[in-house]
């Protein structure tokens, strides 16, 4: 991020703690009556995970976050948390009836949403009390293994139909349950599809539940560190290049499963509207730390993008699966192999976009990554076509990332953070356009 934005470093949460047996609301006893617990956690971290940890560190309680309810003013978010079985609040808490919630600073909508959760009438099954016990039984039944005590369950994500839970087993193994909801509900189908097409490229799939839009995976390693070492990055490159090569003949299957269409004609068709968006937002830039790109320069970049897409199309490279959110956190390493996770941004596009993204994870080993892609695709492409594609990628990979799903392009409502990020990516494109290899290709 290259501009100064007034973005809060922390987010305040009101905690609505609910006893799992009596369904009473747990409030803190104060000299002035009762108050709901409040927590502030870093805004750029997983709220469910951080709240679970903070509640345990502060009051010694193990909880499961059921859902988040945002106040009308948007300043404070309420987290509805269920005490896990066997947890007992300390003396600082009092049990209140649901109707006493009206005495706190909660909106009518918040109270109505909490009531749905307490009554079990919430449309989202993962917001209902006791679902974690049902999940635990499912995990034990599908794996044939016994869970560790419930208080060792780790919650990483929650709310609005999303979930990411780590279940530890008595034998030391772990399993992950993930559930997704709109706008990422397609990740369920694309994950199942990829697990059939290339099971060695993803965490091993154990079972799936359509009613939760959820799937259960084996533990498959830990996320890569920033700037991964050569042997790990080359593991990842071989795995992804192989997966892309295997899926080069079935783009329609992947599109039907929910992969986004980022084929070159689609990317090319949005160059002009994205450029106009950047022209407007560059003119509105308030920060003086970095000079805005001029209208003329942005249109020059658009011309280069058009030409790059046309040149790439002429090479006849099969468009196949890409992971359009390829970060170190979405690649898992267990010491012997790498697998890829979090496929909500799966798309069909040019495979060398992924090569460029892998190179960016550690530029010191970019030559090794490119060598793997050359070797993989040499079975279908000429050496000249591969080299031309690689030369075009530094510019096109940034543009494809900015394009993303493409659903934002027609929207009129973009927050300051996104606008700043878009301007930052435009500057990255500007620098990539200065690469002499790119200029040489485009001048042929």
Per-residue pLDDT of 134-163, as tens digits, reads 999 999 999 999 999 877 899 999 998 999
Q: Is the pLDDT of residue 112 over 90?
A: no
Instruction: List, by residue range, all CATH 3.90.1200.10 domains of the chain.
Output: 222-442
The fraction of the chain above a pLDDT of 70, given in percent, is 97
Give the alpha-carbon dihedral of 385, 387, 390, 396, to 10 degrees. -50
Q: Give the pLDDT score at 211.
A: 94
Contacts of 173 (CB under 8 A, 6+ apart): 145, 218, 219
pLDDT band at 73, cuts 50/70/90? low
Mean pLDDT of the chain: 91
Give the alpha-carbon dihedral of 179, 184, 187, 189, to 10 degrees. 90
What's the topology of domain 131-218? Answer: Phosphorylase Kinase; domain 1 (3.30.200)
What is the rounded distance in angstroms from the CA atom of residue 433 to the CA atom of residue 424?
14
Q: Give the pLDDT score at 71.
A: 64
Please tell me the least confidently modeled range out of 72-76, 276-280, 322-326: 72-76
Instruction: List, by residue range, all CATH 3.90.79.10 domains of the chain.
Output: 10-121
Please tell me the least confidently modeled range out of 93-107, 317-331, 369-383, 393-407: 93-107
Describe the strand order of the beta sheet including 205-209 as a list of residue ranges. 154-159, 162-168, 174-179, 214-218, 205-209
CATH number of 222-442: 3.90.1200.10
Cβ-contact 350, 312 below 8 angstroms? yes
Q: Give the pLDDT score at 30.
A: 85
Mean pLDDT of 370-391: 96
288 or 369: which carries more pLDDT confidence?
A: 369
Name the pTM for this structure.
Answer: 0.91
Q: Which of 67-71, 285-289, 381-385, 438-442 has the highest mean pLDDT?
A: 381-385
For residue 220, how many other CB atoms are within 10 A of its CB?
18
Superfamily of domain 10-121: Nucleoside Triphosphate Pyrophosphohydrolase (3.90.79.10)
**pLDDT tens by residue, 47-66:** 999 999 999 999 999 999 99
Mean pLDDT of 62-81: 81
What is the rounded distance in angstroms from the CA atom of residue 145 to the CA atom of residue 314?
54
Instruction: List, by residue range, all CATH 3.30.200.20 domains of the chain.
Output: 131-218
Angle at 417 between CA 287 and CA 431, to 5 degrees: 65
Q: Is the pLDDT of residue 376 over 70?
A: yes
The CA-atom distances, in angstroms, between 294 and each of 286, 396, 434 are 14, 20, 16
Nearest Cα to Cα of residue 260 among 380, 60, 404: 404
Query: Partners of 63 in the beta sheet?
Result: 83
Q: Is the pLDDT of residue 3 over 60?
A: no
pLDDT band at 74, cuts 50/70/90? low
């Amino acid at each position: 991020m290259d501009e100064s934005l007034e973005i809060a470093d922390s987010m305040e949460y009101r905690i609505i703690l609910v006893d799992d047996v009596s369904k009473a609301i747990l409030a803190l006893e104060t000299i002035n009556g009762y108050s709901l617990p409040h927590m502030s956690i870093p805004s750029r971290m997983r709220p469910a995970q951080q709240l679970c940890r903070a509640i345990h560190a502060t009051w010694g309680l193990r909880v499961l976050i059921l859902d988040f309810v945002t106040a009308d003013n948007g300043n404070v978010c309420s987290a509805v948390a269920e005490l896990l079985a066997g947890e007992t609040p300390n003396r600082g808490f009092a049990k209140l009836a649901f109707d006493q919630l009206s005495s706190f600073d909660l909106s009518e909508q918040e109270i109505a949403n909490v009531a749905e959760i307490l009554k079990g009438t919430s449309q989202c099954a993962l917001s209902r009390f006791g679902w974690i016990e049902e999940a635990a039984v499912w995990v034990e039944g599908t794996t044939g293994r016994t869970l560790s005590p419930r208080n060792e369950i780790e919650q990483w994500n929650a709310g609005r139909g999303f979930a990411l839970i780590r279940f530890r087993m008595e034998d030391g193994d772990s399993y992950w349950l993930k559930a997704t909801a709109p706008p990422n509900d397609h990740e369920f189908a694309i994950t199942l599809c990829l697990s059939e097409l290339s099971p060695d490229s993803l965490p091993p799939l154990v079972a799936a539940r359509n009613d939760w839009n959820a799937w259960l995976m084996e533990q498959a390693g830990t996320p890569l560190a920033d700037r991964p070492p050569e042997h790990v990055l080359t593991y990842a490159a071989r795995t992804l290049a192989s997966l892309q090569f295997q899926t080069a003949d079935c783009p329609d299957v992947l599109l039907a499963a929910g992969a986004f269409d980022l084929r070159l004609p689609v990317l090319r068709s949005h160059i002009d509207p994205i450029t106009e968006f950047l022209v407007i937002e560059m003119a509105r830039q308030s920060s003086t730390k970095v000079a805005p790109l001029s209208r003329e320069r942005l249109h020059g970049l658009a011309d280069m993008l058009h030409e790059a897409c046309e040149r790439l199309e002429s090479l006849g490279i099969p468009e196949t699966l890409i992971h359009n959110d390829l970060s170190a956190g979405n690649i898992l390493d267990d010491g012997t192999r790498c697998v890829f996770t979090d496929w909500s941004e799966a798309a069909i596009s040019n495979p060398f976009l992924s090569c460029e993204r892998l190179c960016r994870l550690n530029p010191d080993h970019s030559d090794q990554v490119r060598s793997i892609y050359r070797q993989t695709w040499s079975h279908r492409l000429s050496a000249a076509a591969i080299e031309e594609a690689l030369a075009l990628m530094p510019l096109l990979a940034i543009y494809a990332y900015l394009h993303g799903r493409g659903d934002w392009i027609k929207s009129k409502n973009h927050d300051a953070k996104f606008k700043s990020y878009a301007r930052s990516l435009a500057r990255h494109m500007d620098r990539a356009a200065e690469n002499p290899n790119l200029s040489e290709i485009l001048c042929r």
